[in-house]
Structure 1
Amino acid sequence: MEHDRKRTRAWVLHPDIKSEQSRREPAAALEEAVSLAVALPDLDVIGNDVVRLPKAQPGYLFGSGKIEELAQRLKAEDVELVLIDGPVSPVQQRNLEKAWKVKILDRTGLILEIFSDRARTREGVLQVEMAALSYQRTRLVRAWTHLERQRGGLGFVGGPGETQIEADRRAIDEQLVRLRRQLEKVVKTRTLHRAARAKIPYPIVALVGYTNAGKSTLFNRLTGADVMAKDMLFATLDPTMRRVQLPDGPEVILSDTVGFISDLPTELVAAFRATLEEVLAADVILHVRDISHAETQTQAEDVEAILSSLGVDENRPMIEVWNKLDQLGEEEADARRDRAARDDALHAISALTGEGLSDLLETIAQLLQGKRFEEDLDLTFAQGKQRAWLFEQDVVQSEEQTDNGFALTVLWTDKQKARFKKL
């Protein structure tokens, strides 16, 4: 019980503003916002609502009637924190906190909280700190212009309010410069690691997808690694890499990346670019989709938009992985399987049960090395260098010694055959 008392009682509101057309269904958006809130361990989400508005009110966001109605409800439920799924200006935040006597957090603030709770690597931590500072800085600047207007030329220029905010802004700017330098060092080290990896002949396979699509579960299933895989938004924030031996194929490095999300606050897009840079180095991209989600199509479009904004080459081999077949009814799951069976760039799987994974791995292997075929070769004893190369390439299936040398059966690609002929 002791632990329960420490958890903050939270309420989630999704403003459905008529004048701002959103592609997302209000109910689905609210559900995602609740999942975001649940991802914070010290929050106890006790209720949620979609609040329909003709337009956002500049001072309070909501109209006075709605504010009064919500005030009574929040008080009755003993709510301490209200999470508003959307942008809230500093003025609106201050006014609502006064009216409801609760703490207010908007979507950006909430995502920042989750990011700081999840970041593990040095780079992740630095990026979150920078994003949080940029966010605070905009709050200061906006609050400051608001004060300027209020003062209205009463000769307060250089007064205490302005000086304090100027000092705060300067402190934030200095901290940002310091963090940026540290981050540059970390990114440089990462670039060196990446250059070192480029020398290793392991191709990189990157998992990307909307947050909660099941990337980490798939990663764990394929690598036997124990990356945190909970049914939670943003469970992974740091790219995690493991080596995987593909059956009848090369060894690859599998990279699990941070989950994408729609309307990702701008402060965070910049901060997490470097985390996604692994994707730019990938030889094959696996776009993992939660095919059981009501908004799977919209989520896929969000992911594709972010990939293209990162500058991912359109010709980069990409496989769309329809995950969570186990969450669908039998008829719908069969329809998805049939659809995927007709398209090489589509795979229907369940990372949880393991269904469809061997076919997926086979496709990855083929993409990385072309189709492989079997061939018999006869080598003389003098061709020791060629024989060693074949073993290095790991293409030899069997070998027998003959009177003149060796009879080998190899499983290789046209590319390997062409390189062998040049030896």
Structure 2
Amino acid sequence: MIEVMERGDFMPAKVVIGAQWGDEGKAKIIDILSEEANVVVRSQGGNNAGHTVSVNGEVYKFHLVPSGILYPGTICVVGNGVVVDPKGILEEIDMLVSRGISVSNLKIDLRAHVVMPYHKALDGIKEKYRGKKDIGTTKKGIGPCYMDKAERSGIRIGDFLYPEIFKEKVRENVKIKNAIISKVYESDEVFNAEEIIKEYMEYGERLKPFLTDTTAIIYEAIKEGKEVLFEGAQGTLLDIDLGTYPYVTSSHPITGGVCVGAGIGPTMIDECIGVMKGYVTRVGKGPFPTELFDEDGDRIREVGKEYGTTTGRPRRCGWFDAVIGRFAVRTSGLTAIALNKIDVLSNIPVIKICTAYKKGNEIIKEFPAHLEDLKQCEPVYEELEGWGDISHIRRYEDFPEAVKKYIKRIEELCGAKVTMVGVGPSREQNINI
């Protein structure tokens, strides 16, 4: 007989998402919260995202493996909504093992789609074909992989367990992709199905010990009252539906994406933490109302080490944008804000916060739905007093009044409580409020 579960029987899970354009420092927050978690889950995106964690002077860079893997005993899940580059995840696994980190608790969902060589090729070819209208993708093949998923021609991780089905799908896809590459894009790059099959079957053999139905693992953990943490990749404004389309990713980095990408119901989520930086950055093209082109922008980039984990590209930097903050709070139902890297703003005499946009003679307080409207928006700034070095501070009470006023103003403008403040990259440089 199946036991009937009621809402009160579940241990609500926590979600950590990026509340800007990504690169908000989610990895550190996830790493801290992972200490108490029994299960850590990645539910969307691919290895186009990167998380950097600093532990005891050691730096770890993650792209697909949840950073909770650094805690022995923690089950780390790559969920069904993730697109997996087998070579990429095996390189991460090998890196972790070489540094003495056990990967025995890593689980990869059988439903996750596989990034294939032709996906990467098409990603690069399409970007080149777009010319000046390119999106600025990482060329990791993520978008084309999600395209195949939506078209229902994708290859899933579970296909590795059925070699004949895997081979048939590869041959069929290679035939179609070669035709598209040569006849549509007039490129000489073609793929040999048998070579791909040989290479990827070897990857599949190595990945077999990690493959399972992770939706059942997550459900049972929540039902048993265990701490489950969902780690987001990318950020709110890169959401395929709600972000600055078309300069977005191919999945749903908002809280709602967790439910589909991990196979759980929304009633199992209780706490939604949005990670924001004390300023804003973005990678790639697209409008950016508070972007700085002066010494302050250069200083923020250099002090904050704002260069991509995956690509090394310099990030565009700007003042904190509360219009974006409010948008993230309402679209993801944020219950708390983790405010990162405010130490980067130290020693800047005047700190600015964007409180609204001005479009012509109109004042706009909600983030525009259309890119063309956003392009016409100028930031409306409020100025606050700056502060000196705060990287050594470990208690909220010890912050200068200027810092406390900055945090309070962000809470008021965004509509959510700041519960954590980051003053540096290390675990101990995170202050609970």
Structure 1 and Structure 2 fold alike (TM over 0.5)? no
Task: Give the alignment's TM-score, normalised by structure 2.
Answer: 0.28
Higher relative contact order (CA 8 A, sep 6+): 2
Bigger CA radius of gyration:
1
Instruction: Give the TM-score of the pair, scaled to structure 1.
Output: 0.28
